[in-house]
């Protein structure tokens, strides 16, 4: 088969996109497909996993392996897929409610593992598809129009939580700056380890506070404006870089930083840890293994008794 030149269009399906006209999510689809094309990812070895809600529909709009899962559970699905077949590029698209509400346990746990995959969080501060309730990223006292009363819970800081959890690539993007977001997605995919991108994404229907105008006024690029160096050169430097990124994560109000906050390439990935233990994991991951020869199990009578000799008793 002749190699077709992959363009962003190659990664889009023909399913009608039913997000609200003007939705911030279009920028995420645009950035992701541009990043996939520039990285030349094969559609059948690229897996986009999502949870529930508007962000959950993302895979249907893409022409790659698309797994639209349950509320909060996108990460475990993605982990199972990636560990079973580490030759796949796995990108999760999930909302703030998904990752930091119902699925926050999985969010924290992925950081401990540093599995090589990318998590793109659609951060719009509300639950869109159920009509605008407060998401875990909505600040206290705020009242987007669908809320009958102002929010009385505090917001989780996604960057800070990702840092504390152990993600080794942590960034923030903004849907209205597509090139910037695309570059971050590319870096995240190329990063070896768990990468997290908090994407500021205005919900045009239910959030009249965090609008495009709101963000346009406040957002600035860390790398461009502050020459921010996120990279941990050696593991000894990690606490200091992390503390610095943590401070930056809490910058808010009139100035909202976007860009790469923290990168630590010194932590072994889960795949590397597995290979250390299983020895053959890299060359022969689960999905690449045969389990039978023409319907006959690989383990026969002799092999069984050898492997499980501990349980075999011969009458003496």
165 counts as binding other proteins under rule CB under 8 A: no
126-127 and 133-134 as β-strands: parallel, antiparallel, unpaired? Answer: antiparallel
Nearest to 127 by CA among 150, 173, 100, 96: 96
| Type and span of the H or E element at 181 | helix 178-190
| Type and span of the H or E element at 66 | strand 65-68
**Rounded CA separation 176/186 (Å):** 17
308 counts as binding other proteins under rule CB under 8 A: yes
Size of the site for other proteins (CB under 8 A): 107
CB 133 to other proteins: min, Å: 9
2 counts as binding other proteins under rule CB under 8 A: no
Sole binder of other proteins in the list 157, 176, 223, 244 (CB under 8 A):
176
281 counts as binding other proteins under rule CB under 8 A: yes
Sole binder of other proteins in the list 235, 240, 280, 282 (CB under 8 A):
280
Sole binder of other proteins in the list 58, 79, 171, 245 (CB under 8 A):
79
Site for other proteins in 191-250 (CB under 8 A): 204-206, 208, 212
63 counts as binding other proteins under rule CB under 8 A: yes
274 counts as binding other proteins under rule CB under 8 A: yes
Q: Is 133 helix (H, G, I), strand (E, B) or coil?
A: strand
Sole binder of other proteins in the list 36, 41, 47, 111 (CB under 8 A):
47
String of DSSP letters for 88-110: SEEEEEEEHHIIIIITHHHHHHH
Q: Is 287 helix (H, G, I), strand (E, B) or coil?
A: helix
Let me know: does 200 contact 210? Beta carbons within 8 Å: yes
CB 234 to other proteins: min, Å: 30
299 counts as binding other proteins under rule CB under 8 A: yes
Backbone torsions φ then ψ of 94, nearest 5 degrees = -145, 160
314 counts as binding other proteins under rule CB under 8 A: yes
CB 237 to other proteins: min, Å: 29
Strand partners of residue 203:
none
44 counts as binding other proteins under rule CB under 8 A: yes
Let me know: does 129 contact 91? Beta carbons within 8 Å: no
Burial of 300 by CB count in 10 Å (0-12 exposed, 13-18 middle, 19+ buried)?
A: exposed
The DSSP letter of residue 51 is -
> Among residues 152 and 291, whose Cβ is nearest to other proteins?
291
CB 315 to other proteins: min, Å: 4
Sole binder of other proteins in the list 80, 239, 252, 265 (CB under 8 A):
80
81 counts as binding other proteins under rule CB under 8 A: yes
Sole binder of other proteins in the list 122, 177, 241, 248 (CB under 8 A):
177
Nearest to 48 by CA among 40, 36, 34: 36
**What distance lies between CA 185 and its chain's CA centroid?**
10
83 counts as binding other proteins under rule CB under 8 A: yes
| Type and span of the H or E element at 127 | strand 126-127
CB 43 to other proteins: min, Å: 5
Site for other proteins in 103-132 (CB under 8 A): 105-106, 108-109, 129-132
CB 37 to other proteins: min, Å: 11
Sole binder of other proteins in the list 33, 114, 118, 165 (CB under 8 A):
33
Let me know: does 132 contact 207? Beta carbons within 8 Å: yes
């Amino acid at each position: 088969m002749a190699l077709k030149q992959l363009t962003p269009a190659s990664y889009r399906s023909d399913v009608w996109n039913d997000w609200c006209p003007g939705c911030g999510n279009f920028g995420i689809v645009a950035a992701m497909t541009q990043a996939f094309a520039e990285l030349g990812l094969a559609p059948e070895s690229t897996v986009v996993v999502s949870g529930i809600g508007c962000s959950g529909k993302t895979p249907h709009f893409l022409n790659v392996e698309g797994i639209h899962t349950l509320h909060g559970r996108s990460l475990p699905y993605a982990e199972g897929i990636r560990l079973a077949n580490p030759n796949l590029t796995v990108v999760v698209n999930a909302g703030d409610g998904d990752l930091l509400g119902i699925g926050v346990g999985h969010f924290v746990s992925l950081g401990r593992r540093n599995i090589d995959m990318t998590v793109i969080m659609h951060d719009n501060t509300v639950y869109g598809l159920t009509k605008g309730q407060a998401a875990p990223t909505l600040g206290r006292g705020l009242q987007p129009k669908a809320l009958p009363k102002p929010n009385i819970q505090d917001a989780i800081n996604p960057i800070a939580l990702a840092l504390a959890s152990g993600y080794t690539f942590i960034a923030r993007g903004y849907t209205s700056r597509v090139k910037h977001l695309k570059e971050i997605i590319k870096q995240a995919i190329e990063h070896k380890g768990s990468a997290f991108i908090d994407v500021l994404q205005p919900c045009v229907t239910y959030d009249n506070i965090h609008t495009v105008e709101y963000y346009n006024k406040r957002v600035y690029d860390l790398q461009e404006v502050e020459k921010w160096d996120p990279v941990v050169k050696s593991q000894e430097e990690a606490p200091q870089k992390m503390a610095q990124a943590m401070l930056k994560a809490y910058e808010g109000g009139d100035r909202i930083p976007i860009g790469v906050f923290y990168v630590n390439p010194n932590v072994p990935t889960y795949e590397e840890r597995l290979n250390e233990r299983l020895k053959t994991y890299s060359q022969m991951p689960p999905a690449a293994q045969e389990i039978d020869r023409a319907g006959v199990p690989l383990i026969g009578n002799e092999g069984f008794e050898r492997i499980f000799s501990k349980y075999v008793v011969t009458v003496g």
